C-alpha cells in the first residue's frame, strides 16, 4: 500500500498543466485505487478523492465525445463543400476548354476566310465606243485587287468561293447619245442600265447588286453596240466588288 501511495505521489507530481495530461494521470490514479482499496484502511482515507475525481473525468469524456461528434459533423460539411467545389471547378474547367476550342475554331475560320475585294477604273484613253458589236469592258486601272479575283486582261471577276458578293459600277458618258452597260453573270445578262445623254457636260449613273455566286461564277460588264462611254485619268468609269461572306 505504501508503494501505491508513493506511486500516486509520483503520478500527481507528474501532473502537467495541460488538460489532457492531467486527465490521463487521473485515470491511472483511479485504477490504482480500485486495485488496492479492498481491505486497506489507508485506502479509505483517500476514497473521497476518487469519488470527487470520477465525475470530472466522465464530464471530460463526454465533452471530448461531443467535441469529436462536432468535429465529425464539421468534417462532413467541409468534405461536402470540397466535393461541391471540385464539381464546380471541373465543370468550369470543361466550359473553359469548350470556350477555348470555340475561340480557336473561330480564329481558324477567320484566318481561312477568303478575302476578296477589287476596284478598277476603265481607261485613260478618252472615248470608248461606239462599236458595231457589244464589247466587254476591260477595266484596266487597278486600285484594289485583294485575292486577285478580278482580271484586268479580260475584265472578268471570278468568284473564288461560294458566297454573297456585292458589286458596284459607275458609268460616265460625254457624248450626245446612248450610254450604259449590261451586267453579265457567266453568259447570262442579269442587268441593263441605260441613259440618254443630251449635249451637256459629263453624265453619270451608279448601280450595284448583291449576288449569290458559286465558286467559278464570272461577272463582267459589257458596252452595248452603238453606246459610248468616256473615261480619262480622273476615273469616271469604275467597277468594284467584294465578298460579303462565304456560304
Ligand atoms: C465633254 O463634252 C463637252 C460638251 O460637249 C465638251 O465641251 C468637252 O470638250 C468634252 N470633254 C472631253 C474631255 O472631251
| Residue of 128, 174, 231 to test ligand 1 pocket, by largest number of atoms within 8 Å of CB | 174
> What is the gyration radius of the CA atoms in the chain, in angstroms?
51
Both 135 and 108 in a single domain? no
Same domain, 204 and 132: yes
Number of domains in the chain: 3
CATH number at residue 154: 2.60.120.40
Q: Are residues 238 and 129 part of one domain?
A: yes
Same domain, 153 and 101: no
pLDDT recorded at residue 176? 84
Residues 167 and 202 in one domain: yes
d(CA 67, ligand 1 centre) in Å: 107
Residue 149: exposed, middle, or buried by beta-carbon count in 10 A (0-12, 13-18, 19+)? Answer: buried
Mutational pocket test of ligand 1: of 125, 197, 201, the residue with most ligand atoms within 8 Å of the beta carbon: 201
Please say which residue of 90, 112, 134 terminates a domain.
112
Closest CA to 136 of 126, 148, 123: 123
94/18 same-domain check: no
Write out the chain's pLDDT in tens, 247 residues. 455 454 444 444 544 444 444 444 444 444 544 554 455 554 455 555 555 667 788 888 889 999 999 999 999 999 999 999 999 999 988 899 999 999 999 888 888 889 999 999 999 999 999 999 999 999 999 999 999 999 999 999 999 999 999 999 999 999 889 999 999 999 999 999 998 888 778 999 999 999 999 999 999 999 999 999 999 999 999 999 999 999 9
Same domain, 49 and 157: no
87 Cβ partners below 8 Å, 6+ apart? none
Nearest CA to ligand 1 atom 6: 201
CA distance 95 to 102: 10
Cβ density class 72-100: b for 16+ within 10 Å, e for less: eeeeeeeeeeeeeeeeeeeeeeeeeeeee
pLDDT of residue 50: 56
pLDDT given for residue 14 in this prediction = 46
Do both 171 and 146 map to the same domain?
Answer: yes
Q: Does one domain contain both 127 and 216?
A: yes
Same domain, 45 and 84: no
Nearest CA to ligand 1 atom 10: 174
Contact assessment for residue 171 and residue 128, using Cβ atoms and an 8 Å cutoff:
no
Are 44 and 129 contained in the same domain?
no
* Residue 108, domain extent: 55-112
The whole model's pTM is what?
0.62
Indicate if 124 and 236 belong to the same structural domain.
yes
Amino acid at each position: 500500500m505504501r508503494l501505491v501511495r508513493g506511486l500516486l505521489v509520483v503520478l500527481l507530481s507528474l501532473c502537467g498543466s495541460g488538460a489532457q495530461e492531467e486527465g490521463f494521470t487521473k485515470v491511472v490514479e483511479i485504477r490504482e485505487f480500485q486495485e488496492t482499496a479492498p481491505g486497506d484502511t489507508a485506502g479509505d482515507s483517500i476514497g473521497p478523492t476518487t469519488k470527487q475525481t470520477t465525475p470530472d473525468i466522465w464530464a471530460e469524456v463526454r465533452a471530448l465525445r461531443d467535441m469529436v461528434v462536432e468535429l465529425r459533423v464539421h468534417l462532413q460539411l467541409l468534405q461536402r463543400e470540397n466535393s461541391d467545389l471540385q464539381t464546380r471547378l471541373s465543370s468550369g474547367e470543361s466550359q473553359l476548354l469548350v470556350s477555348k476550342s470555340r475561340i480557336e475554331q473561330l480564329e481558324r475560320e477567320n484566318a481561312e476566310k477568303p478575302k476578296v475585294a477589287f476596284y478598277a477604273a476603265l481607261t485613260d484613253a478618252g472615248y470608248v465606243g461606239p462599236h458595231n458589236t457589244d464589247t466587254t469592258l476591260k477595266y484596266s486601272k487597278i486600285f484594289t485587287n485583294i485575292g486577285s479575283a478580278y482580271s484586268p486582261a479580260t475584265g472578268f471577276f471570278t468568284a473564288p468561293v461560294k458566297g454573297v458578293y456585292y458589286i458596284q459600277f459607275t458609268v460616265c458618258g460625254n457624248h450626245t447619245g446612248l450610254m450604259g452597260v449590261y451586267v453579265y453573270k457567266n453568259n447570262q445578262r442579269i442587268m441593263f442600265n441605260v441613259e440618254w445623254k443630251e449635249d451637256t457636260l459629263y453624265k453619270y449613273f451608279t448601280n450595284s447588286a448583291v449576288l449569290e455566286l458559286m465558286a467559278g461564277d464570272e461577272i463582267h460588264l459589257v458596252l452595248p453596240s452603238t453606246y459610248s462611254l468616256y473615261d480619262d485619268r480622273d476615273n469616271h468609269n469604275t467597277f468594284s466588288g467584294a465578298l460579303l461572306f462565304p456560304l
